[in-house]
Structure 1
């Protein structure tokens, strides 16, 4: 009885090409992610720094832009501040 080969040489070559193709795709993906341009948004202006925001607050205190600067209310005793947000733009009533 003759022993049959456990692997076919043609199948082995094809498998090696598939493995190297996968390795190449992974390497290309990592390189593109590392050296590609970063997609970042510019940082948003804080409401106090944004000239288009006339009034802003955090749920506890409200600040308003005046000709002489800006003025803010005092927060209540049991107030939990949230995120600072623009409440009224300069063109709004």
Structure 2
């Protein structure tokens, strides 16, 4: 019986991925996620969270909407729903006045 042939001396085995490179990629991804969250948290928004200003200023209006969000006046303050993903706001109008 013959011994198995050895690979030629110029053939190279594939190099395993470097753990240093993997760690660098992981830190890069983590940094991008953190920066994105910080920008979303601290960037000024172009829309108010207190609801439509004209109806919110009207003390007799208990519930109002702009077609995307519905806001209600409670003893604790204002409560507004979140708009749908593809909602286009319309003119704000009062849905229900306090006292009926």
**What TM-score results when the alignment is normalised by the length of structure 2?**
0.46
Task: State the TM-score, normalizing by the size of structure 1.
Answer: 0.49
